[in-house]
Amino acid sequence: MSTSNAARFDKVVPNQSPKLTSIVSDALRRKIVSGELAEGDNLPPEPDLVAQFGVSRPTLREALRILESESLIRTRRGSRAGAEVCAPKVETSARYMGFVLQHEGVTVDDVLQARMILEPPLAGLAAANCDKATIVELRRALEAEEAALSSRASYAEASIHFHEVVVNLAGIRTLSLTVRQYNWVLGRLMEEVRSHDSGVTTGDPKSHSAHARFVDLVAAGKVQEAESYWRAHVEHVGQRLLEGRSGSKVVDLFT
């Protein structure tokens, strides 16, 4: 780690603090989530951190273990041994959300209902916010989806990506992240559907046509029609995914 990076660490923890581990991990976490420490940065060597925070080696190591369990750092071995910063990722929170849904006994129906509540209004907002850049981004995602039609697995990924592009264009980042979280679960559901329908190896032309129709409506400035169309599309897809699976639990997708 460069001298300038090392200089960003101050001795902020008194030796007598009863919660040294939490204070150290909190201090480092703030630097990571704020971007002060970026993806790929190396934390200073252990002796430097011990001196800078004024804590014992066991306390520091426990703090680093906490951050590693949160996927905010990774520990390297060998000649490049040390702790490397990992920026927070949606995939990490999505996996954890999946664990919670499993533990809570949430059903697949419930996840699809959440999708029905969130996506159509966000699609309407995307249409209302439409400009030339919006259309370019939608058509780019549509082209990627078309290129993936020859493979069912690739098409599933491209289709989920298209839905995420639509949601992102609504401009509400909190809901965009929420959708990306439950899409991790829906991706597993699509894998499960494919495993029981091995005779189909290509993507879904009807779904792709529905996405293309939505883009045409957005480009034409038909906001209400675009939202209604997206609602019908999401409902139709949900019904197909639920065929023979209504009442099944999220945990069943991961066992």
Q: Is the pLDDT of residue 125 over 90?
A: yes
pLDDT > 90 in the chain, percent = 66
Instruction: Name the residue among 178, 241, 166, 180 with its Cα closest to residue 210.
Output: 166
Burial code of 103-134, b = ≥16 C-beta within 10 A, e = fewer?
Answer: eeebbbbebbeebeebbbebbbbbbbebeeeb
How much helix, strand and coil, in percent to the nearest 5, is found in the chain?
A: 70, 5, 30
Q: Residue for token digits 């030339």?
A: 132
Q: Is the pLDDT of residue 187 over 90?
A: no
The predicted pLDDT at position 18 comes to 46
User: Has domain 91-254 been given CATH number 1.10.490.20?
Assistant: no
State pLDDT tens for residues 87-117.
Answer: 888 888 888 888 888 899 999 999 999 999 9
Intervals of CATH 1.10.10.10 along the chain: 3-85
Q: Is the pLDDT of residue 3 over 80?
A: no
- Tell me the average pLDDT of the chain: 88
What sign does the dihedral 28-30-33-37 (CA atoms) show? negative
Intervals of CATH 1.20.120.530 along the chain: 91-254
Return the higher-pLDDT residue of 45 and 244: 45
The stretch 133-145 carries a mean pLDDT of 96
Q: Is the pLDDT of residue 143 over 80?
A: yes
User: Has domain 3-85 been given CATH number 1.10.3720.10?
Assistant: no
pTM exceeding 0.85: no
Return the higher-pLDDT residue of 5 and 207: 207
Query: Quick one: pLDDT band at residue 75, thresholds 50, 70, 90?
Result: confident
The predicted pLDDT at position 43 comes to 94
The predicted pLDDT at position 78 comes to 64
Where does residue 81 rank: exposed (0-12), middle (13-18), buried (19+ CB within 10 A)? Answer: exposed
| Least trusted range by pLDDT, from 10-24, 123-137, 150-164, 182-196 | 10-24
Return the higher-pLDDT residue of 249 and 2: 249
The predicted pLDDT at position 5 comes to 57
State pLDDT tens for residues 6-61.
Answer: 555 555 544 445 488 999 999 999 999 999 999 999 999 999 999 999 999 999 99
